[in-house]
């Protein structure tokens, strides 16, 4: 059943019988924007929306979707001026800010603001991507697919169909296209994108604002973080995407977003437009158990060990702090999320709730011979596949979170292609030369932010955990050999590796590449860091990956049927597809929440809370001096709320996940009121099960963002670019 037919079948239920339960369900979900008017339009209007679905998404005229971008590879951004000015999160721009920072010009700590276009900083590899259109292509994608095919045969046919669909979609255009499965392959959608490759840093607040609270406050409410940064999209003279050039000009978008200073109150309607990354809302209980109760504890433990080592090194040296700031944030983000997710799964008995649904599903399937034949064996099949998959998933986690967390090992593994190119009977010297040049650039970037002392500690700690944690049945032979040869003394093994390897020394590595000849490939193979990386990589590729791939291919097939069954069983329920990196709209209301007995959280925080958290002995709780001065004089300008306070952050019931970082938060009129940047810790389980009473998204109040730009940074020229509604 295609989504349009399915949505029409439930439209009457939703619009004419909006019971408390159906309204509650409608607040959950990551909805396909092109279908908003079909299903969600009435519900959104009944909650307060004052613009049309066509104003939100349209391919026939300018709409809000024309100002929403995929920022980089995993965030969202919003265009707020007719000169391509983009707002996103500070943590989304963190890597770019860090790469421009030095000890002498520490933009992470001190902030950065360009006064003119000429001062804006280019960022190699950073892109902003606009969705041109999306279209359901289920029928075209499934041409030639039959029920008798194996899963592999099915996917081969679909892949050929997709190649044809995308080729036709972008023929004679500069666009990029992809086709993605929705509802676990029950439907397919074509997405056509325009990719801008010249994106420049315009401004970033100091860390004492943009990262206030650091890892301690991450995933936690109440929050007081000014999590934003400012970039600009540049285009060629013809306003088309172009590689970086000094001749490029600010991009003129089809649309840019108006900004509201009018604030919000409890119960106000809000919606979020963005590119959420990945959710698994429809998994059976066995999948929840594997992810949240088996995998997460292992990954949390390994990342805790790594973070402790990195943080200690950062505390000892200003240089190391700059080198590892972005890495630390990247490791810590998922680490803390996994802790909250597992805690939420346990506290709110998610596995039991899934089992209750599965019991009803099984009864429904068994009640009809046709349904029983189609769905009756699904749940036992899930149980068996997850039982077989779990040990291999844990082995995969040891490889990625222990072995590949060691920087020298991961870096050395990147030289494997160079070695292979040189091992042929007639080496292609052009191919080799190109790879050498690529590795020179990679090496320079790697060593800029590398500390061998920290990495050696990671090596000893994480390799020890890998050896002790992986059982004999799934332990690579290289680890057994290390245990035997060094009698368990990983310090002695690490001393040898870090003394001999060229992959821990910029001088050795860059010198090796500078005079490289094909015959030098043997030096790569003999390098101890490369030898370890190669052996672990081979084991992973040959023993682990085939088994996990086999398990997931089977699960994909089962989930497609299970998803079909759930939609057939609950025909009156509005189903949304899991997040898959494509554009979605989520909506809800401004709300606080009650996480536990006798604890009630308000729906907003203020600048007063920043001052209350100040701790001059802790880097993450240092308060910017200019900010303190403005607070002392209550000098908030036009950005204060009606009660005279300056709001910093707020919470709402919009359903978000990773990828929604930087997503614009709109009010009922489609004006920007905030920038989404986080979820509450108690609600991080929302990737697996959304609880409307507990799950909250956390957003930066746009008034605080503008206040920092205007009053703290004194970058009023940026405010002048924006359309602001008082």
Separation between Cα atoms, residue 620 and residue 618, nearest integer Å: 6
The candidate with the shortest Cα–Cα distance to 690, out of 602, 563, 580, 576, is 576
**73 contacts: CB under 8 Å, gap ≥ 6:** none
Distances, alpha carbon 723 to alpha carbons 28, 87, 242, 726, in Å: 31, 14, 27, 10
Q: Is 661 a catalytic residue?
A: yes
Return the percent helix, strand and coil in the chain, to nearest 5. Answer: 55, 15, 30
- Going from the C-alpha of 79 to that of each of 196, 259, 629, 663, the distances in angstroms are 13, 11, 31, 11
The single residue of 227, 455, 678, 701 carrying the catalytic annotation is: 227
Please identify which of the residues 91, 224, 256, 655 carries the catalytic annotation: 91
196 by DSSP, 3-state: which?
A: strand
Taking Cα atoms as reference points, which of 175, 182, 187, 68 lies closest to residue 585? 68
The CA distance from 648 to 205, in Å, is 14
CA 30 from centre of chain: 15
CA distance 344 to 336: 12
Report CA torsion sign: 424, 428, 429, 432.
Answer: negative
DSSP 5: H
Q: Are strands 68-71 and 259-260 parallel, antiparallel or unpaired?
A: unpaired
**DSSP assignment, residue 31?**
B
How far is C-alpha 110 from the chain's CA centre? 26
Query: Angle at the Cα of 452 (from 451 to 456), degrees rounded to 5?
Result: 125
Other Cβ atoms less than 10 A from the Cβ of 541: the count is 11
Give dist(CA 596, CA 683) in Å, integer: 12
Residues 6+ apart with CB under 8 A from 56: 33, 36, 63, 64, 65, 271, 273, 585, 670
Q: Is 401 helix (H, G, I), strand (E, B) or coil?
A: helix
317 is known as an active-site residue: no
- Distance from C-alpha of 291 to C-alpha of 289, rounded to nearest angstrom: 6
- CA quadruple 110, 115, 119, 122: dihedral positive or negative? positive
Q: Which candidate in 63, 229, 661, 686 is catalytic?
A: 661
Rg of the chain over CA atoms, in angstroms?
Answer: 26
91 is an active site residue: yes
Beta bridge partners of 233: 199
Q: Is the omega angle on the peptide bond into residue 222 within 30 degrees of 0, that is, cis?
A: yes
DSSP string, 490-553: HHHHHHHHHHH-GGG-HHHHHHHHHT--GGGHHHHHH-HHHHHHHHHHHHIIIIIHHHHHHHHH
Locate all alpha helices (DSSP H) within 221-295, ordered by sequence.
Answer: 285-288
Contact (CB, 8 A) for 31 and 584 = yes
In Å, how far are 357, 451, 622, 719 from 611, measured between CA atoms? Answer: 47, 35, 9, 26
Question: Which residues carry out catalysis?
Answer: 91, 227, 661
């Amino acid at each position: 059943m295609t989504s349009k037919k399915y949505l029409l079948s439930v439209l009457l239920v939703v619009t004419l019988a909006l019971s408390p339960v159906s309204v509650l369900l409608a607040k959950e979900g990551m909805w396909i924007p092109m279908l908003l008017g079909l299903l969600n339009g009435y519900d959104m209007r009944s909650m307060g929306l004052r613009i049309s679905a066509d104003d939100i998404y349209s391919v026939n005229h300018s709409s809000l979707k024309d100002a929403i971008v995929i920022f980089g590879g995993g965030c969202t951004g919003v265009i707020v001026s007719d000169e391509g000015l983009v707002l996103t999160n500070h943590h989304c721009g963190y890597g770019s800010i860090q790469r421009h920072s030095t000890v002498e010009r520490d933009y992470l700590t001190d902030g950065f603001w360009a006064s003119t276009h000429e001062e804006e900083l280019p960022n190699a590899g950073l892109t902003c991507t606009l969705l041109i259109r999306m279209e359901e292509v289920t029928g075209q994608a499934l041409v030639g697919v039959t029920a008798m095919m194996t899963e592999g045969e099915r996917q081969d046919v679909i892949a050929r169909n997709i190649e044809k669909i995308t080729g036709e979609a972008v023929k004679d255009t500069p666009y990029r296209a992809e086709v993605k499965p929705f509802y676990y392959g029950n439907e397919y959608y074509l997405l056509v994108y325009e990719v801008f490759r010249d994106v420049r840093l315009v401004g970033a607040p100091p860390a004492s604002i943009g990262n206030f609270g650091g890892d301690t406050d991450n995933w936690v409410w109440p929050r007081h973080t000014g999590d934003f940064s400012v970039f600009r999209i540049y285009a060629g003279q013809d306003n088309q995407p172009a590689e970086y050039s000094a001749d490029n000009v600010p991009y003129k978008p089809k649309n840019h977003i108006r900004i509201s200073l009018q604030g919000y109150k409890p119960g106000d309607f809000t919606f979020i437009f963005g590119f959420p990354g990945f959710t698994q809302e429809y998994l059976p209980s066995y999948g929840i158990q594997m992810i949240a109760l088996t995998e997460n504890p292992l990954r949390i433990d390994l990342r805790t060990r790594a973070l402790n080592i990195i943080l200690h090194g950062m505390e000892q040296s200003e240089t190391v702090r700059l080198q590892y700031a972005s890495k630390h944030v990247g490791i810590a983000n998922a680490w803390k999320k996994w802790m909250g997710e597992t805690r939420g799964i346990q506290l709110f008995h998610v596995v039991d709730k899934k089992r209750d649904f599965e019991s009803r599903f099984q009864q429904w399937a068994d009640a009809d011979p046709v349904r029983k034949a189609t769905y009756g064996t699904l749940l036992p099949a899930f149980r068996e596949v997850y039982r077989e998959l779990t040990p291999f998933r844990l082995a995969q986690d040891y490889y990625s979170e222990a072995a590949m967390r060691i920087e020298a090992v991961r870096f050395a593994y990147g030289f494997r292609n160079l070695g292979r190119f040189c091992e042929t009977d007639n080496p292609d010297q052009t191919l080799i030369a190109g790879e050498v040049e690529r590795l020179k650039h990679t090496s320079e970037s790697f060593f800029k932010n590398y500390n061998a002392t920290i990495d050696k500690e990671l090596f000893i700690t994480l390799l020890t955990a890998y050896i002790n944690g992986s059982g004999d049945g799934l332990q690579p032979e290289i680890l057994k050999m290390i245990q035997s040869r060094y009698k368990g003394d990983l310090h002695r093994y690490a001393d040898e590796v870090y003394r001999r390897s060229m992959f821990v020394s910029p001088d050795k590595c860059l010198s090796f590449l500078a005079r490289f000849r094909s015959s030098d490939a043997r030096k790569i193979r003999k390098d101890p860091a490369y030898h370890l990386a190669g052996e672990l990589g081979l084991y992973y590729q040959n023993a682990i990956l085939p088994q996990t791939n086999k398990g997931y291919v089977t699960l994909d097939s089962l989930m497609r049927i299970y998803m079909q069954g759930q939609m057939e069983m609950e025909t009156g329920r509005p189903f949304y597809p899991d997040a898959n990196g494509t554009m979605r709209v989520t909506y809800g209301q401004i709300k606080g929440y009650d996480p536990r007995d006798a604890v009630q959280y308000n729906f907003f925080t203020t600048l007063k809370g920043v001052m209350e958290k100040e701790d001059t002995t802790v880097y993450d709780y240092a308060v910017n001096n200019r900010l303190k001065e403005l607070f002392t004089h209550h000098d908030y300008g036009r950005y204060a709320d009606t009660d005279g306070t300056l709001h910093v952050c707020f919470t709402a019931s919009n359903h978000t996940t990773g990828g929604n970082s930087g997503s614009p938060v709109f009010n009922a009129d489609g004006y920007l009121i905030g920038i989404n940047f986080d979820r509450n810790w108690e609600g991080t389980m929302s990737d697996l099960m959304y609880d409307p009473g507990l799950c909250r998204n956390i957003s930066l109040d746009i008034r605080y963002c503008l206040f920092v730009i205007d009053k703290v940074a004194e970058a009023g020229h940026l405010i002048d670019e924006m359309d602001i509604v008082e």
